[in-house]
Structure 1
Amino acid sequence: MLDMELIRKDREAVATALAKRLDPAEVNRALDEIQRLDQERRALIGEIDAERQRRKAEARAYAEAKRAGREPEVVASETGRKQLSELESELDEVQGRLRTAMSELPNLPADDVVAGGKEANRVVRTFGEQPTIEKVRDHVELSRLLGLVDHERGVKLGGSGFWMYTGMGARLEWALLNFFVDENVRAGYEFLLPPHLLLDTAGYAAGQFPKFYDDVYHLDRESAPRGQFLLPTAETAILGAYQDEILDRAALPLKRFAYTPCYRREAAGAHSDERGTVRGHQFNKVEIFQFTLPEQADAALEEMVRHAESLVEKLGLHYQRSLLSAGDASASMRKTLDIEVWMPSMGKYKEVSSVSWAGDYQARRAAIRYREPGGKQTRFVHTLNGSALATSRLLPAVLEQFQQPDGSVLVPEVLRDRLGTDRLTPAR
């Protein structure tokens, strides 16, 4: 959520930044409504304060008259009490509308994030070179040839958009996840295993609700009257775990990570770019997260990007780093850098990690703060998150980049001890 004070003080700067993501006319309509509601809210607060002061003054006068033996005047009429109640009810309604309007605004993109969609994304770093493969097999063919993924039984179990890892495929998936866990612990992140069912308050805090409410799987209200959903990413759980807390300033940056399956209602396409495990309704991901002081955020972002890249590098995969445009980044984030692995069968790169800085946008929604030294004043922390890493595209990249002419696939060196082999060979 944006800072209301910033909108009051520098609406023009807010509008200019938001116009990188939204139509300028839409931005101005939204800001007009927000400022109108803010003025109405402040006026109602003034009226309520004045009415309360009037009633306090009458109560004091009544008490003084009683002490002096005079006949006191009637303190507050039923009409006065009703008026105060009505004002408070009206304030609640206006504040609710203002909160909804504010929650629908996206974050302000960072200064170096440009306007536009995917076409405006910019490659800022590359690692390695595209492998030369004479006859490319795609990951779906390879996974079937090697007996790694059972797509048909996955659909039988869960429907379209689901799959089942089998044999060495399940072991390779688990080896990747364990490798990421070990590397994240080594990098100073504390390991969490959160619930997969979260309250709606966690979705709101992360900025996914209300705009993307329909993108996740919800429990029905009869079985979950408080509202619960299956987490779409561990980012939501890690952030939500610290809602309404004041963190120890000396402990910042606070570094956490979690492994979870991720559940999403996005369509699983039949296009070659989305076949196999590239896109589906459930996939595995290890997520890193940092709560920082505002002045620590820049360094934390670069540290997290380099850490995620180091995992891809240790696997020996060719990839690129891209700075996303405002229109292609999540609405909650000020800045996002994607790590994209090369997929030979597609002739293009696919994202396996997004590392993002939210500024204080999520912290405002979640009321996560820290206290300034020697005082009572609190400030909002900054939050950053990133995949380290998601496997549903990483495993296809391993299969395709390390495939051999005989149909076998070389195992990345860092995984060989975990799998007990240096090569995956076709099932006989």
Structure 2
Amino acid sequence: MHDIRFIRENPQAFDAALAKRGLEPLAADLLAADEVRRAAATRLQEAQNRRNEASKLIGQAMAKGDKETAEALKAEVSDLKDVLPALEETGRAADRQLDDLLAAIPNLPADDVPEGADENDNVEVSRWGAQPQFDFTPREHADIAPALGMDFETGAMISGARFTFLRGGMARLHRALAQFMLDKQTGENGYLECAPPLLVRGESLYGTGQLPKFAEDNFRTTDDRWLIPTAEVSLTNAVREQIIDDLSQPIRMTALTPCFRSEAGAAGKDTRGFIRQHQFEKVELVSICREGDAANEHEHMVKSAEGVLEALGLPYRKVLLCTGDMGFGARRTYDLEVWLPGQGAYREISSVSWCGEFQARRMNARYRPEGKKKTAFVHTLNGSGLAVGRTLVAVIENYQQADGSVAVPDVLLPYMGGVTKLEPVA
């Protein structure tokens, strides 16, 4: 959510930032709606003040024996009482109109975010790891994995497209990856493990920016709850409508959860394989901090995700997203893209975003700065540490063997119960 006061004071700067996102100027429309809202609030306040004043004058007139004035004042108060509900509703409607306009506008990009139209304009920051060399033609995971326990047909039979049934060693490798990630984030990077709800109210999705704009991308239940598209929703909303007394250190949370996405805007994308599913697991990272700590916290979160890839020996590159490819709620986003030999391409495996005050305003999440009376909005950050299914895909493709087996990365061996290799089942 944007601060209307900032827009009042900086309309040209606001429109210039939106232009970087490829959007038309909106400040004039917002300020017009703000003027309507303020005028409605003024009329309501004036009517309330006059009602209160007239009520006091009734007593004074009665004390003086001036019944005629008292009766006139009583009639005026009665009329005002009849008018006030309509004025209150007008004010609420004006508030809603402005809030609805503001809620549909994406976050403003940070100054260092490159301008661009789409993913082709993203900027590569760095690369890590040598791409593996094979003495055979590497295959895509969708061709290797079915013989190892990744059952696309049964998943589709049970639930439809974009669902997969994992069996045996494949299911165990998937679980090993998830546990390894969670242990690394909690044991090395300072994140507190959480087990949050998977069903949330609409207010929670509004708070993190999925509603109202992206309703079709999410699954809704018959009792008006929503399945989380990411644990970012549950973890970030843990501080909604709160004032944090001490935020001298960032609040870091992590959770391993299933995630659910309708993929409404992804028709035709990655329909083959395990990359884009309606249901998947992810280790999510969320941080709540002060504005002055946000830059360092963003770097820490990126390094926390990078550390998982490096421990697994998976080559990747770090990319700074341009304004046209950045998510709705982000001010700045780094993507980590893992190398997939079968595809011969880098593919996104983690997206780490600094959201500034954008989500905090929607959630009314504040903290009390040391030595100051006024509260301030917290800054929120979120990222994948990592997406488990996509990491499984990366392990399959990077650790594939000529005979169709897949070697287990060394760091996962303690989680595999003695299994060192997934081998095809005839």
Please give the per-residue CA displacement for 1:50-69, whole angstroms capped at 9, x wherever unaligned.
22222222222222233444
Please name the residue that 1:177 is paired with: 178
Q: 1:229 aligns with which of 217, 220, 226?
A: 226
Please name the residue that 1:426 is paired with: 424
Superposition pairs for residues 224-303 of structure 1, below 5 Å? Answer: 224=223, 227-250=224-247, 252-266=249-263, 273-303=270-300
**For the Cα contact (< 8 Å) 1:269–1:275, is it kept in 2?**
no
State the shift of 1:47 in Å: 1.6
Query: What one-letter code is carried by the residue in structure 2 that aligns with 1:179?
Result: F
Please name the residue that 1:63 is paired with: 59
Query: What one-letter code is carried by the residue in structure 2 that aligns with 1:57?
Result: E
Please name the residue that 1:158 is paired with: 159
SS in structure 2 of the partner of residue 291 of structure 1: strand
State the shift of 1:143 in Å: 0.9
TM-score, scaled relative to structure 1: 0.94
Question: Comparing 416-425 with 256-265, which one deviates more in the overlay?
Answer: 416-425
Please name the residue that 2:143 is paired with: 141
State the shift of 1:402 in Å: 1.2
Please give the per-residue CA displacement for 1:353-378, whole angstroms capped at 9, x wherever unaligned.
10000000000000000113345411
Please name the residue that 1:94 is paired with: 94
Superposition pairs for residues 110-121 of structure 1, below 5 Å? Answer: 110-115=110-115, 116-121=117-122
Distance in 2 between the 1:59 and 1:78 partners?
A: 10
How many residues are paired up? 417
SS in structure 2 of the partner of residue 392 of structure 1: helix
Distance in 2 between the 1:252 and 1:39 partners?
A: 40
Distance in 2 between the 1:336 and 1:308 partners?
A: 13
Query: What one-letter code is carried by the residue in structure 2 that aligns with 1:205?
Result: G
**For the Cα contact (< 8 Å) 1:255–1:289, is it kept in 2?**
yes
**For the Cα contact (< 8 Å) 1:136–1:345, is it kept in 2?**
yes
Please give the per-residue CA displacement for 1:154-210, whole angstroms capped at 9, x wherever unaligned.
111111110011100010000001001111111211111111111111110011111
Distance in 2 between the 1:418 and 1:94 partners?
A: 57
Distance in 2 between the 1:163 and 1:169 partners?
A: 11
Query: What one-letter code is carried by the residue in structure 2 that aligns with 1:60?
Result: K
Please name the residue that 2:131 is paired with: 130
SS in structure 2 of the partner of residue 388 of structure 1: strand
SS in structure 2 of the partner of residue 256 of structure 1: strand
Please name the residue that 1:195 is paired with: 197
Distance in 1 between the 2:275 and 2:80 partners?
A: 64
State the shift of 1:19 in Å: 1.0
Query: What one-letter code is carried by the residue in structure 2 that aligns with 1:202?
Result: S
**For the Cα contact (< 8 Å) 1:203–1:209, is it kept in 2?**
yes
Please name the residue that 1:336 is paired with: 333
1:38 lines up with 2:44 in the alignment: no
Please give the per-residue CA displacement for 1:279-301, whole angstroms capped at 9, x wherever unaligned.
11111101010000000000000
Distance in 2 between the 1:232 and 1:7 partners?
A: 31
Distance in 1 between the 2:113 and 2:268 partners?
A: 32
Distance in 2 between the 1:404 and 1:292 partners?
A: 45
Residues 253 and 190 (structure 1 numbering): CA distance in 2 closer, same or farther, change over 3 Å? same
Please give the per-residue CA displacement for 1:216-241, whole angstroms capped at 9, x wherever unaligned.
11113xxx1xx211110000111222
Please name the residue that 1:383 is paired with: 380
Q: 1:215 aligns with which of 208, 213, 217?
A: 217
**For the Cα contact (< 8 Å) 2:218–2:227, is it kept in 1?**
yes
1:49 lines up with 2:45 in the alignment: yes
Please give the per-residue CA displacement for 1:239-296, whole angstroms capped at 9, x wherever unaligned.
222211111224541111111111111167666x552111111111010100000000
Unaligned runs of 5+ in 1: none
Distance in 2 between the 1:270 and 1:19 partners?
A: 30
Distance in 1 between the 2:110 and 2:424 partners?
A: 48
**For the Cα contact (< 8 Å) 2:232–2:286, is it kept in 1?**
yes
Please name the residue that 2:85 is paired with: 85
**For the Cα contact (< 8 Å) 1:342–1:349, is it kept in 2?**
yes
**For the Cα contact (< 8 Å) 2:125–2:320, is it kept in 1?**
yes
Distance in 1 between the 2:249 and 2:220 partners?
A: 34
Identical-residue share of aligned pairs (%) = 38
SS in structure 2 of the partner of residue 19 of structure 1: helix
Question: Comparing 121-130 with 243-252, which one deviates more in the overlay?
Answer: 243-252
Distance in 2 between the 1:117 and 1:269 partners?
A: 18
Question: Comparing 78-87 with 322-331, which one deviates more in the overlay?
Answer: 78-87
Distance in 2 between the 1:19 and 1:124 partners?
A: 24
SS in structure 2 of the partner of residue 393 of structure 1: helix
Query: What one-letter code is carried by the residue in structure 2 that aligns with 1:240?
Result: N
**For the Cα contact (< 8 Å) 2:200–2:234, is it kept in 1?**
yes
SS in structure 2 of the partner of residue 152 of structure 1: helix
Query: What one-letter code is carried by the residue in structure 1 that aligns with 2:181?
Result: F
Query: What one-letter code is carried by the residue in structure 2 that aligns with 1:363?
Result: A
Distance in 1 between the 2:357 and 2:249 partners?
A: 14
